[in-house]
Structure 1
Amino acid sequence: MRHLKLIPDDTKIPFSRWRFVAVGFSLVVMIAAVVLLFTRGLNFGIDFEGGILVEISTEGPADIGQIRSDLGGLGLGEVQIQQFGQPDDVLIRVQSPKGEDADKASQAVVSQIKSVLGDSVEYRRVEVVGPQVSGELVQDGVLAIVVSVALMLIYIWFRFEWQFSLGSVVALVHDVMATLALFSLLGMEFNLQSIAALLTIVGYSMNDTVIVFDRVRENLRKYKKMDLAELVDLSVNQTLSRTVMTSGTTLLALLALFIFGGEVIRGFTFAMIFGIFIGTYSSIFIAGPVLLAVGVTRDTTTGGLGGVAKEKASGKA
């Protein structure tokens, strides 16, 4: 039985010929992202804006859909409902009304919830998440993204060379900015799940880029006189089947989550689906052209700073 192949093994697609169009398109996306973030900003969710948490316990297994439907007509603004722990445990998060006292607002929210759900549920706790806690969450989220990108830059620098590291980081920044632009353009809620999606996208994009760069490094040693643009095209084509298969299988899982996973994780899965596309695109059309722009010589492919240190220790450098 023959194996299914979406991409032939001997593709010869001239990706480098399209690099100027791709880079130009990406520059437009980056500029648009900056403009959108400064003009429209992000639609921060309860995690970042502050809100009211109400933990309840139902008599039997909670019907999340029914609870969401019951509370939807109260005009409470943004309401998040999720199940946790036992089947009868439910966490309701409501955005704090702006300009109102937090305690009075929480009492009003609980009163409205009780008017719909009645006394058939047990109200275990009511907490108010203030703006100070939300501000700390924003700072921690941004810090997590910056630190992850910085650590990956160091990793690529040690494993390869600074040229590869620069290409990887440019691709990562491109992916993060494009995803943030999508959130701003569509007005999607940006919460802690969105931060998790961004970190996952960064890791996925880096993995794709490392696969391509690893093949570039191997081919630099193998084809010492081949033009760099042709060599990058060869490397991308050699890893294209693996890239498409990995992206395809991941997208199938994410599409299932997006369709059947419910409202709670829909924003996360949508961001991930977009991130898979943009991460694959940047690995092919952004990281490679950056490498071509800064150049790389055959004698700098000994395995990054670690390789250079080993050569010096052995007396070869």
Structure 2
Amino acid sequence: MAQRGFWIPLSLILVFASFVSLWWPGPNYGTDFRGGTEVEVVFTKAVEAHTVRQTVESLGYQTPDVVQVQDVKSPSHFIIRVQEVSSVTDATKEQLKKALCLTTDAAAAVADEHACPSNARATEVTFSPGGDKISTRYDSTPDLEKIKEQVRSVGGINLRAAADNPQIVNQRDNHVEIQLQSKGDQLMDGLRDKLGADTVPAQPLKVEWVGPKAGKQLRDSARNSVAIAIVFIMLYLAFRFDLRFAPGVVVASVHDAMVIIGVFVVLRKEITVSTIAAVLTIVGYSMNDTVVIYDRIRENLSKHRGKSFWDIINMSVSETLSRTILTAGVTMLSMLAFFVWGTGVIRDFALAVVIGIVAGTYSSIYVAAPLTEWIDKRMTQRLGAKKKRPSGKRRAKAVTGKPAEAK
């Protein structure tokens, strides 16, 4: 408690700096939150990161992200992210509908039987959100070769190479699925053309995409999940202990979450769903550590009634310090192992948890406990002021110097 004059201002500075970093330089959102296409690929030959970036830019992708994964076994291991998601624009969709003979005018369709035979005249055409899959339905058994010819007639559209593409997925209602090349497929083909088939593998390790709308929904859900978790923690502690203890845990949880986000922004690490999972983990971890100290404080308050709240906090922190060090130390060792030997998302998750363990342990001692003591002091002062405040006849006498008139 004697050191709180140094640590509390430091915490305020850290939290304020983290808030500022959300606007400048701003968080580096991953594909989960920003939207776009992510391709993870291991090149068969040594390739530099700037070469990969220049090649992707030459393919027409604006401001791509090229991240080299630290992998001893595969030194040319990269994650490539582009903002584009769908390979099919709205205008191209209309062209595809026309090419597939989708029409509401049955008479016009029958009149042009050569271009739109009945077994290649779609009655329904729908596109997947990523634009890499088309679902169509027909009145009669569809002619797959004719459908393939119709799709290829639209410029800029390429079918995914497969023996069963297009294919009938439901013969009862003549449901046909047509697979197109996705942005990931197009990116891999472009890299293969520019860098050579002996450098770019036939298949990437992973291809993922998230639409901009879905990315925004994920960001909102992530923010709400952290806020809801903190609110319910406050309600639990107010019920478990009393109102004096709840604000300390809430402030400590916000402090820990902001420190993790701030460090990720400063280090230009990507903030993804895994990062939010780490933040929620640390919020629970920090609350658990704080509750242990709070429980000892409550126990010592009943055992040492003659001591001040200041001394009770110091005593309680000292009594639980060995437990805190052992718990934090063991958890830290396991997370450090993931951080040192892990790769990609696992390493970033471990980094967030390591930062959170340090911040959570520190905030339980130097943020939550001193704030609880300050709230207790304020509540005691207000209670004392209410007891000293004159009321009724005594208040009237104190104000006028005369006894109050009888009613």
Return the match for 1:188 from 239, 254, 269: 269
For residue 240 of structure 2, what is the aligned residue in structure 1? 159
For the 8 Å contact 1:51–1:94, the answer to whether it is kept is no
Q: Matches of residues 80-229 of structure 1 in structure 2 within 5 Å? A: 94-97=80-83, 102-103=86-87, 105-106=183-184, 108-112=186-190, 114=192, 121=202, 128-229=209-310
Return the match for 1:74 from 47, 52, 77: 52
CA distance in 1, matches of 2:245, 2:67: 42
Aligned length, in residue pairs: 264
For the 8 Å contact 1:258–1:269, the answer to whether it is kept is yes
Instruction: Say whether residues 1:28 and 2:6 are aligned partners.
Output: no
Deviation of 1:128 (Å): 4.0
For the 8 Å contact 1:33–1:180, the answer to whether it is kept is yes
Instruction: Say whether residues 1:261 and 2:342 are aligned partners.
Output: yes
SS of equivalent to 1:163: coil
For residue 331 of structure 2, what is the aligned residue in structure 1? 250
Which one has more relative contact order, counting CA pairs under 8 Å at least 6 apart?
1
SS of equivalent to 2:23: helix
Deviation of 1:163 (Å): 1.0
CA distance in 2, matches of 1:124, 1:23: 47
For the 8 Å contact 2:42–2:205, the answer to whether it is kept is no
For the 8 Å contact 2:35–2:85, the answer to whether it is kept is no
For the 8 Å contact 1:179–1:271, the answer to whether it is kept is yes
CA distance in 2, matches of 1:263, 1:184: 17
Deviation of 1:267 (Å): 1.1
For the 8 Å contact 1:68–1:81, the answer to whether it is kept is no
TM, length-normalised to structure 2:
0.59
CA distance in 2, matches of 1:67, 1:159: 59
CA distance in 1, matches of 2:207, 2:8: 50
Taking structure 1 as reference, are residues 68 and 231 closer, same or farther at Cα in structure 2, changes over 3 Å only?
Answer: farther
Task: Give the structure with higher Rg (CA).
Answer: 2
For the 8 Å contact 1:46–1:93, the answer to whether it is kept is no
Aligned alpha-carbon RMSD (Å):
3.0
Taking structure 1 as reference, are residues 49 and 93 closer, same or farther at Cα in structure 2, changes over 3 Å only?
Answer: farther
List structure 1 runs of 4+ shifted beyond 3 angstroms: 64-73, 76-82, 104-108, 112-128
SS of equivalent to 2:37: strand
For the 8 Å contact 1:50–1:133, the answer to whether it is kept is yes
TM, length-normalised to structure 1:
0.74
Fraction of identical pairs, as percent: 34
Structure richer in helix, relative to its length: 1
Q: In structure 1, what residue type is equivalent to 2:24?
A: T
CA distance in 1, matches of 2:45, 2:10: 41
For residue 311 of structure 1, what is the aligned residue in structure 2? none
Deviation of 1:187 (Å): 1.2
SS of equivalent to 2:344: coil
CA distance in 2, matches of 1:81, 1:273: 23
For the 8 Å contact 1:48–1:138, the answer to whether it is kept is yes
Taking structure 1 as reference, are residues 123 and 216 closer, same or farther at Cα in structure 2, changes over 3 Å only?
Answer: closer
